[in-house]
Structure 1
Amino acid sequence: MSDTTLAASSAASSGVTNTFSADAQPTLIRSAADITRLVNQGATKLSDARIVVAIALGGVFLDAYDLGGLAFGMKDITRQFGLSPSGAGLVASAITLGAIVGALFGGYLTDKIGRYRVFMADMFFFVVAALACAFAPNEWVLGASRFVMGIGVGIDLPVAMAFLAEFSKLSGRGNKASRVAMWCPTWYAAISISYLLVLLLYAVLPAGQTDILWRLILGFGAFPALLIIAIRHRYMNESPVWTANQGDLEGAAAILRRSYNINVEVADDANLTPQPPVRKAAWSNYATLLKGVYLKRTILATVTSLVSPFAYNAVAFGLPVILSTFLAQSLISTILFSLGLNLCFAFVGGLLAVRLVPKMGAWNMTVIGYTLQLIAMIGLALVGRPSDSAEAAISIAMLALFLFGQGFGPGSHTMTFASLSYPTSLRGVGVGFNQILVRASSTASLFLFPVLSAALGTGVFWVIAFAPLIGLIVLLAIRWEPSGYDVDAEDFEQIKA
C-alpha cells in the first residue's frame, strides 16, 4: 500500500484493524478529518480506549457520591450547626455554585489547552475539598469546602464528556451517544455506593456517634479521588481529534497507535494538502452557540439542562426526607428503600438508555422519560401524605417511576444533547455552557426544595411537575437527534454559525 489514502482504506473494509504487526502497511492520514473518520469507524476494540472512557467517568462518580452522602447527612448537619431551612439550602447548594464557576472556565480551558491537562488537574479539587468537609468546624467552612469541590466538578464535566465523545465510534452499539449516556448509570451507581457506605457506617458506629456519619461519608470521597488521579496518569492520553484539530497530525497519529493500536502514519504530502481552517478556542465561542445551525440545538439542550436537574435534584436529594417523613420510615428503612429505588429503577433505566439509544435515539427516549416523570409527579401530588399502606405503596411506585424515567430519558440524554450538538472545536464550551445551566438549576432546586417542602408539604410535587411538562413541550417543538450524526464533520465543512 505505497500511497494508500484513508478513503481507499475505508472503502476496502467496513471497519478499522485494531492490531498491527511490524511489517503491516500503515494507513496514511493527511488531515484532521482523516483522524476523525478513523475514530468514527469504531477503532476502540482491544485497546486502552475503553479504559479511557471508564476513567473519564471518575468525576461524575465523585459528584454523585457527594450528593448521595450529603442527602443523608443534612438532618445531622442542620441540627449540629443550628441551620435554618435557608441555611441548609445554602450548604446543600454550595457545590453547584462552585460548579457554575468551574464549568465557565473548564469549558474554555478544555478547548484551549486540551483535554488531558485539564483532566489531570481537576481531581485535586475533590481531594482537598473532601478532607476539608470532613473536618469542617462550622457551616461556613463546610459551605466553602463544597464550593471548592464544585469548582472541580464544573471543570471535570466538560472535559469528561469531550473524552467520551472523542474516543467513541459514530454509530452502532457503543456509539458516541451510548458512551456519553454512560455518565447516567455511573451517577446512580455512585449514589447507591454512598447509600451502602451510609448503611455500613450506621451499623458499626456506636449509637452515640452517629452524628459524625456525614463527616466520614464526605471525607471518604478523597480516597477514590486519589485513586482516579493515579489511574488517569497511567492510562490517559490527549484526545486525538482535538490534537489533530490543533494542526498536530503527528501527535494525533501517535495517540491512535498507542490508544487504538492502529498502524497509522502521516503521509509525506500531508503538508501539501490544503487544510480547512478550524475554529480556535476563544471566549467568543460561547456566543457562537447561539448562532446559525447551533441556535435550535442550544435551545433544546438549554431547556433540558434547566428542567431535568431541577426535578431530579428535588426528588433525589429529598428522597430520604420523603421516605422518612412522608412515609414514616426509620433511618434503616429509609436507607434500604433509597438504595433499592436507585438500583432497581434509576440505575436500570440508565443501563437501558445506554443499550437502546443507538436504535431508539436520544430524542425519543427523552420524550418517554419526561412523560413517565410527569405521570409520577402528578401521582405523588394527588396522593399527598399517605394515610395507609395502600397510599404509601402508590407513593413509592410513583417515586420509582420518576427515577426510572430520569435514567431512561433526560438523565442520560441531557448530556447527549449537550455533548453531541457541537463539533470538537465547540464541544468544551458547549458542555461548559450546559453545565452552567445545569448547576444553576440544581442550585435553585437544592435551595428551594427544603423551603418549598416546608411551606407546601406534598404540594411541592405540583411545582416539580412543571419541569417534565416544559421539557416535553420544547422537545415536541425542536426535533433534533444527535445520536448517529457526524457533528465533528462540521468543523471541516466550515458551517457558518
Structure 2
Amino acid sequence: MDKVVLRTKRDVITFVNDHPTGSSRGKIIALIALGSIFIDAYDFTSLAIGLDSMKAELNPTPFQVGTTTSAMAVGALLGAIFGGYLVDKLGRYKLLILDLVLFVVAAIGAALSPSIEMLIFWRFLLGLGVGLDMPAALSLVAEFTRNRDKGKFVNLWQPMWYAATITSAALVLPLVFLGMEEHMWRWAVGFGAVPALVILVLRFLFADESPMWAAHNLGMGEAVKILRKNFPSTEFVIEDGEVESETDTRISRIFERGYRLRSLVVAVVSGFQAAQYFAVGFYLPVIVGLIFGQDVVAIVIGTILLNVFGLLGGGIQPFLTHRFGGRVLTLIGSAICVLALIAVGMVEVESAPYLAAILMGAFIFGHSFGPGSQGKTMATLSYPTDLRGTGTGWAEACSRVGSIAGFYVFPLVVAAVGLSQTMIFLAAVPLIIFVTVLVARWDPKDVDIEAGSVGPAAGSASPALAPRQP
C-alpha cells in the first residue's frame, strides 16, 4: 500500500490532480453529477416541442407565452447569481441534493398546472434549480477527476445536453401516435421528474463532498475521510504543515487582477453562446416547421435529426480538449457557426429545404463542438477550488442573460424580417465570440490554476505527495 503524507490543503488538491490513474469511484461520482445536466437540458427544452398544445389548452397571451418560455432562464439567472457563492460557501453536495428536490417537485407542479400563471411559477422554480445545479455539478466533476481527465469529463456535459433534447422530442412521438396531442406538453414537462428522482437516489447512494472543497472549508481530517473512500489502496497520513490563511470567498475576487481577463472571456463565451443556442436551439421545432411545414410528426423527427448533429459535435470534443485546449475548440466551432448561419441566410429555404436543414445541422455541430461546450467548461477549469463555484456561477449568470435575450429577440426578429435575414444577423453572435477568444488568448490548458498563476503548470507533484513504502 502506498503511503501519502498530507500537510496542507494544496497537498490534497495536488494528489487528486496528479494521480496517475484517478479514482474509479470518483469518476462514477462525476458521471452522476453530470446526470443532472441531462435534467437541466430536458427541463429547458421539454416545453418547446409541446408549445402549441400548451397554447391551445391554456390560451395564453403572446406576452404570457414569452414569459413562460423565459421563466426558467430568469430563475436560472437568479439561481446562478446566488448559487455560485453558496456552492463555495456551503459545499457542492448540499446544493446538488437541494436542486434535485426542486427538479422533482417543480416538474410535477408544472405538469399539473391549472393555469398559465401557475405554469410560469413552477417553470421559474425549475430555473432556480438549474441555476443552483450548474456550478455545483461542474465543480464536483472537476474536483473528483485528475488533470488529464478534467477537460474530458467536464465537457461531457454537452453531449449529455443533446441526449436530453433528443429524448424530450422522442418522447412526444408515442403521444402523437396515441392521439394524446391535446395534453402533450403536460406529459413532456412532467416526465422530467423521473430522471431527477433517479439521479437523486444515486446521489444519496454514491455521492460525496468534494475532497478539495473539504480541505479548504472542513479541515484536513474531513478531506482525508473522503480520499480514503475514493482511494482505498492508499494510506493517508496527516502531518503538521505551514499555517494557511483563511479562504477568501469574496465574489469580487474574480474581477481582480489575475482573474479579470479570464472572467471577461468566460462572460463573452458563456453569454453569447447561450444567446445563439436559445435563439436557434430552443426554437428548433419552429424553424423545422418553417422549413418543412407544420406536420407534427415531421417537426418532431426533424428536431431529433438536427439535434443529432449536436450530439456528434458534443461527443467528439471532450476527447480533444486535453490535446488542443478549449480556446482552439472555441475558435473552430465559432467559425463553423458563422459560416453556417450566413449560408442558411443566403439559401432560398422554400426551394432548398433539405440544404437549409443540413446547414442548420452544421450550425448545431459547430456550436456543440466549440462555444456551446466551452461556455461552461472554460469557467469550470479557469478558477481554483476556492473560487470555482463563484466562477461557474458567474458564467451561468452570463449564460442566462444570453438565453433570455435569445428567447425574446429571436421570435421578434423573425416576425419582422423573416428567417433568412435573421440568420445573417445572428451570425454576428459567434463572430463576437471568435474575435474575443482570438484577441484575449486565455486558455486554462497547461496553466497551474490552483496556484493562481497564468504561467505553465508545474510538471511534478509536491514532494510531500511522492508515494513512499511504509
Check whether TM > 0.5.
yes
Match of 1:185 among 151, 159, 162: 159
Match of 1:218 in 2: 189
Match of 2:468 in 1: none
C-alpha distance in structure 2 between counterparts of 1:398 and 1:87, whole Å: 32
For 1:285-324, list aligned pairs within 5 A: 285-324=250-289
C-alpha distance in structure 1 between counterparts of 2:403 and 2:226, whole Å: 37
Residue by residue over 1:370-392, the C-alpha shift from the partner in whole angstroms, topping out at 9 and shown as x without a partner, is 000001111111125x222xx21
Residue 274 in 1 paired to residue 242 in 2? yes
Residue 405 in 1 paired to residue 366 in 2? yes
Match of 1:341 in 2: 306
C-alpha distance in structure 1 between counterparts of 2:23 and 2:298, whole Å: 44
Match of 1:434 in 2: 395
Match of 1:466 among 413, 422, 428: 428
Match of 1:479 in 2: 441
- Residue pair 1:103, 1:435 contacting (<8 A) in 2 also: yes
Q: TM-score, normalised by structure 1?
A: 0.88
Match of 2:341 in 1: 377
Moved more, 463-472 or 362-371: 463-472
Q: How much does 1:228 deviate?
A: 1.0
C-alpha distance in structure 2 between counterparts of 1:424 and 1:407, whole Å: 26
Residue by residue over 1:52-101, the C-alpha shift from the partner in whole angstroms, topping out at 9 and shown as x without a partner, is 11111122111211233211111222233333433222110100100111
Moved more, 67-76 or 426-435: 67-76
C-alpha distance in structure 2 between counterparts of 1:408 and 1:275, whole Å: 44
Q: How much does 1:26 deviate?
A: 2.3
Instruction: State the SS of the aligned residue for 1:266.
Output: strand
C-alpha distance in structure 2 between counterparts of 1:97 and 1:71, whole Å: 17
C-alpha distance in structure 2 between counterparts of 1:98 and 1:196, whole Å: 26
Instruction: State the SS of the aligned residue for 2:5.
Output: strand
Corresponding letter in the other structure for 1:135: L
Q: Structure 1 residues 286, 47: closer, same or farther in 2, change over 3 A?
A: same
Residue by residue over 1:330-372, the C-alpha shift from the partner in whole angstroms, topping out at 9 and shown as x without a partner, is 21122112112212x1111111110111111110010000000
Corresponding letter in the other structure for 1:445: G
Match of 2:458 in 1: none
- Residue pair 2:75, 2:131 contacting (<8 A) in 1 also: yes
Match of 2:415 in 1: 454
C-alpha distance in structure 2 between counterparts of 1:194 and 1:362, whole Å: 29
Match of 1:352 in 2: 316
Structure 1: give runs of 5+ residues left out of the alignment.
Answer: 1-23
Residue by residue over 1:8-55, the C-alpha shift from the partner in whole angstroms, topping out at 9 and shown as x without a partner, is xxxxxxxxxxxxxxxx35212111111111111236656311111111
Q: How much does 1:247 deviate?
A: 5.5
C-alpha distance in structure 1 between counterparts of 2:61 and 2:417, whole Å: 17
**Percent identical:** 34
Match of 1:37 in 2: 14
C-alpha distance in structure 2 between counterparts of 1:302 and 1:264, whole Å: 42
Instruction: State the SS of the aligned residue for 2:236.
Output: strand
- Residue pair 2:291, 2:357 contacting (<8 A) in 1 also: no
C-alpha distance in structure 2 between counterparts of 1:374 and 1:261, whole Å: 49
Instruction: State the SS of the aligned residue for 1:317.
Output: coil
Residue 238 in 1 paired to residue 209 in 2? yes
Corresponding letter in the other structure for 1:469: L
Instruction: State the SS of the aligned residue for 1:26.
Output: strand
Instruction: State the SS of the aligned residue for 1:468.
Output: helix
Structure 2: give runs of 5+ residues left out of the alignment.
Answer: 456-470
Instruction: State the SS of the aligned residue for 1:48.
Output: helix
Equivalent pairs, count: 453
- Residue pair 2:292, 2:299 contacting (<8 A) in 1 also: no
Q: TM-score, normalised by structure 2?
A: 0.93
Q: Please, what is the CA RMSD of the aligned residues?
A: 1.7
Match of 2:461 in 1: none
